[in-house]
């Protein structure tokens, strides 16, 4: 019997393509936690470069044992060493083609930076936010959701009303998820959230700035319920928004638990 020579390629088993007998389709299978450079639109500077944490998924028919994980990374790298927002849909369709799937999903989460000036001294510093793209394709149909997380200051109206010497305040986190007719700037979403809170946050504050921010929050107390309603009212008036979900969580300074509220529309 002949044997393959030293330079002959070995035939490697393709276990993923083997038949599976459990008759169970998998909705999403793929890779998550992949770090990759991304370029996103920036209202002030046209674009900014950042690093995203990426998840890529497809559906798996019931007859296949597994998917081919390496192909996800191949598709990603085939579009260059930086992802542009404009080619997200191309990546989704390439995943469908490369992995013979009906549906594909792409999640991209990244830090987003804005330059802000303190309210009195006008000292400039960078503030970081969290932004996320969730895109999906089913056949030729596609879906895209923008999510932005913004930290703010909230001051308790009840505490202000009943306390003799002040009112407790805390940092709150607002998460806004949107669907829209046309692209909405990340900066515009941040502005909507910050205008809805007791005060916005700054990376750099001098003493005169700290005084101004503290007094601003004291003059504008909001419950967590007020916060989500304020954001929702502004989104209701936005001509491009077709669906939204607004969540707010206050990291309470006088309780050992957080306060939470949510509004969804669309």
Does residue 123 register a pLDDT over 90? yes
Cα gap 109→106, rounded to integer Å: 10
b/e map of 173-191 (b: 16 or more CB within 10 Å)?
bbbbbbbbeeebebbebbb
Between the two ends of the chain, the Cα-to-Cα distance in Å is 70
Task: Give the number of other Cβ atoms within 10 Å of residue 148's Cβ.
Answer: 22
CA angle 220, 223, 228 (to 5 degrees): 100
Q: How many Cα atoms within 13 Å fall on the side-chain side of residue 84?
A: 8
- At residue 136, the pLDDT reads 97
- At residue 154, the pLDDT reads 97
b/e map of 110-135 (b: 16 or more CB within 10 Å)?
bebebebebbeeeeeeebebebbbbb
Q: Are 119 and 212 in contact (CB under 8 A)?
A: yes
| Helix 186-195 / helix 224-236 crossing angle, nearest 10 deg | 130
Residue of 82 and 105 predicted with greater confidence: 105
Q: Over range 235-250, report the average pLDDT.
A: 97
As beta bridge partners, residue 52 has 36
Cα gap 41→43, rounded to integer Å: 7
- At residue 261, the pLDDT reads 98
Q: Is the pTM of this model over 0.75?
A: yes
CA angle 244, 250, 253 (to 5 degrees): 175
List pLDDT tens digits, range 187-231. Answer: 999 999 999 999 999 999 999 999 999 999 999 999 999 999 999
Residue 107's closest CA among 146, 135, 129? 135
Task: Give the number of other Cβ atoms within 10 Å of residue 61's Cβ.
Answer: 11
CATH superfamily to which 26-265 belongs: Urate Oxidase; (3.10.270.10)
Percent of the chain with pLDDT over 70: 92
Instruction: List the domain boundaries for the chain.
Output: 26-265
Burial of 204 (0-12, 13-18, 19+ CB in 10 A): middle
- At residue 134, the pLDDT reads 97
DSSP SS3 for 20: coil
Secondary structure letter of residue 13 according to DSSP: P
- At residue 225, the pLDDT reads 98
Beta strands in the chain (DSSP E): 26-42, 46-60, 83-84, 103-117, 124-138, 141-155, 169-180, 199-200, 241-250, 259-265
List pLDDT tens digits, range 33-42. Answer: 999 999 999 9
**Residues belonging to the chain:** 266
- At residue 8, the pLDDT reads 60
């Amino acid at each position: 019997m002949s044997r393959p020579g030293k330079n002959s390629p070995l035939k490697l088993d393709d276990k993923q393509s083997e038949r599976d007998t459990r008759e169970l389709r998998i909705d999403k299978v793929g890779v998550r936690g992949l770090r990759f450079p991304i370029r996103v639109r920036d209202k002030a500077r046209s674009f900014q470069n950042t690093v995203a944490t990426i998840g890529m998924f497809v559906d798996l028919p019931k007859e296949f044992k597994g998917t081919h994980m390496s192909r996800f990374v191949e598709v990603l790298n085939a579009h260059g060493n930086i992802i542009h927002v404009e080619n997200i849909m191309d990546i989704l369709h390439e995943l469908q083609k490369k992995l013979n799937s009906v549906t594909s999903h792409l999640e991209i989460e990244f830090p987003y930076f804005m330059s802000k000036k303190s309210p009195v001294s006008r000292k400039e510093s960078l503030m970081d936010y969290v932004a996320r793209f969730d895109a999906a394709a089913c056949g030729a149909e596609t879906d895209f959701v923008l999510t932005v997380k913004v930290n703010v200051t909230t001051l308790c109206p009840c505490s202000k009303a009943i306390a003799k010497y002040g009112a407790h305040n805390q940092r709150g986190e607002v998460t806004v998820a949107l669907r829209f007719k046309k692209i909405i700037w990340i900066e515009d979403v941040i502005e909507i959230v910050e205008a809805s809170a007791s005060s916005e946050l700054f990376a750099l504050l001098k003493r005169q700035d700290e005084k101004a921010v503290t007094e601003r929050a004291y003059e504008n107390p909001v419950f967590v319920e007020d916060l989500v309603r304020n954001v929702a009212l502004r989104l209701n008036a936005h001509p491009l928004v077709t669906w939204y979900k607004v969540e707010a969580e206050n990291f309470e300074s006088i309780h050992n638990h957080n306060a939470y509220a949510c509004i969804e529309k669309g």
